Structure 1
Amino acid sequence: MAENTTINPASSLAEIQTALESLHDPRILAVNEKHGNDHAVNLTKLRGLAKQIKTNQDLAIGLWNTGDSAARLLAMLICKPKAFGFEELDSMLREAVVPKVQEWLVSYVVKKSAHCEALRVLWFADSDPVVASAGWELTVMQVSKNPGLLDTAGLLDTIEAEMKEAPERLQWAMNHTLAEIGITHAEHRARALAIGEKLQVLVDYPTPPGCTSPYAPIWINYMVSRQA
């Protein structure tokens, strides 16, 4: 593995792929595989590579089309988010089955797109729980930024009825929404806390020292206490 990879911003797709391969670290792969990811590149080094390349939409598309997770993560860092169309982003999300790739696509690209709300509505109602999880993560953003677009009480109804038995990634996104509602909307806080206490989702999640538990009641109370 190369400790320091220097690359010309005008490098070809093949040269970028070679640079990514030079950063491959089996120890990183072993850690990532525990979380369902398959990239073997340190993300700090990946960001360093992106900084050298700068914004390059054509290269980003080429990297995405390789299907390689590290290449796709790099693509998210050098692309022009507003250059993607609605159908293009929908197709990319449905291809992005690897958790980290989906996370970066939603966070770094879709949230900056003019199609964000339309895609949120589409994905939120999708029968595929992986796709639906992206819709719920976009809903987290709207809970705090544009609550008028949402039926917050209805969201709490759905969370109460479905989160306990939801597949892992969808459950995590629903729990994030529950916590965000409790943190940002005082009028719904008591119910959000009650739902979290009732369902006990992630109550035993191992939390490193210095980090906040994802268990909604602890998460909500901690963040609200910081606002005081």
Structure 2
Amino acid sequence: MAGTTPTEAQVAELTAELAALEDPRIREVNERHGDDHGVNLGKLRAIAKRLKTEQELARGLWATGESAARLLALLICRPKAFTRDELDAMLREARTPKVQDWLVNYVVKKSPHAEDLRPAWSADPDPVVASAGWALTAERVVKKPAGLDLGALLDVVEAEMKDAPDRLQWAMNNCLAQIGIEHPDQRARARAIGERLEVLKDYPTSPGCTSPYAPVWIDEMVRRKDAGTTS
């Protein structure tokens, strides 16, 4: 690896290691969900555990553009080390669901820029970017609702969720359900919106799992809360 920096050499070694872990069967399953890698996530997490936190290496892995490398980057980075503009650029580059999901949940939610990005992303004309904004809003509905206009959020969901593209629709539906679950004063309206729009009403749900259909989801989670369990 003459002429390369230590980080460049590490990136090359790690991308080769990830390539060796590629499993065509895993890739086939992932591709059905819009993802484009075939690496077992347990094995990928084991590599991250070995590396620990390596911010510059994370930047190098992200720059490869390869999904498996980017997922590894998100596990070893320092979320607070990214600027607002870096996070915005990364989201717009993260076009596969798993990379976007990990970026939002593992990095952006831990960043001091999350609240600045949330409304900007929610209003973005790109539905993939907007879905990230709604994911951040759902998080705030649960953990830090003070200052949010829940009625206005329900207005937007009611007007736009039915015809939203899949990933944005899913994120808006999550926000709708969280409003109904966490805020009793908004629960009846949230349930009514879900019943009227019927988004994800027929979504296939495995035995023992809760349907993502908002009225069912709200009722089940409220029942668990009242019973004193979240299992």
The TM-score normalised by the length of structure 2 is 0.93
Tell me, yes or no, if the aligned pair for 1:111 and 1:138 is still in contact at 8 Å: yes
Which of 86, 89, 93 is the aligned partner of 1:88?
A: 86
1: CA distance between counterparts of 2:21 and 2:60? Answer: 19
In structure 1, the residue matched to 2:110 is 112
2: CA distance between counterparts of 1:121 and 1:192? Answer: 21
SS in 2 for 1:148: coil
1: CA distance between counterparts of 2:27 and 2:10? Answer: 25
In structure 1, the residue matched to 2:188 is 190
Q: Following superposition of structure 1 onto structure 2, how do residues 184-223 of structure 1 map, counting pairs within 5 Å?
A: 184-223=182-221
Tell me, yes or no, if the aligned pair for 1:20 and 1:70 is still in contact at 8 Å: yes
Gaps of 5+ in 1: 1-10
SS in 2 for 1:75: helix
In structure 2, the residue matched to 1:5 is none
SS in 2 for 1:108: helix
Give the number of aligned pairs.
218
Structure 1 residue ranges, 4+ long, deviating more than 4 angstroms after superposition: none
Q: Deviations over 1:118-139 (max 9, x none)?
A: 0101101101111000000000
Q: State the shift of 1:149 in Å.
A: 2.9
In structure 1, the residue matched to 2:36 is 38
Tell me, yes or no, if the aligned pair for 1:55 and 1:79 is still in contact at 8 Å: yes
SS in 1 for 2:207: coil
Gaps of 5+ in 2: 1-8, 227-231
In structure 2, the residue matched to 1:4 is none
Which of 121, 140, 157 is the aligned partner of 1:159?
A: 157
Q: State the shift of 1:152 in Å.
A: 0.4
Root mean square deviation, CA, Å = 0.8
Which of 87, 94, 98 is the aligned partner of 1:100?
A: 98
In structure 1, the residue matched to 2:24 is 26
Q: Deviations over 1:203-227 (max 9, x none)?
A: 0001111111100011100000001
2: CA distance between counterparts of 1:115 and 1:94? Answer: 16
2: CA distance between counterparts of 1:184 and 1:27? Answer: 40
In structure 1, the residue matched to 2:71 is 73
SS in 2 for 1:165: coil
Which of 177, 180, 189 is the aligned partner of 2:178?
A: 180
| Amino acid aligned to 2:93 | E
The TM-score normalised by the length of structure 1 is 0.94
Tell me, yes or no, if the aligned pair for 1:142 and 1:149 is still in contact at 8 Å: no
**Does 2:64 match 1:56?**
no
SS in 1 for 2:161: helix
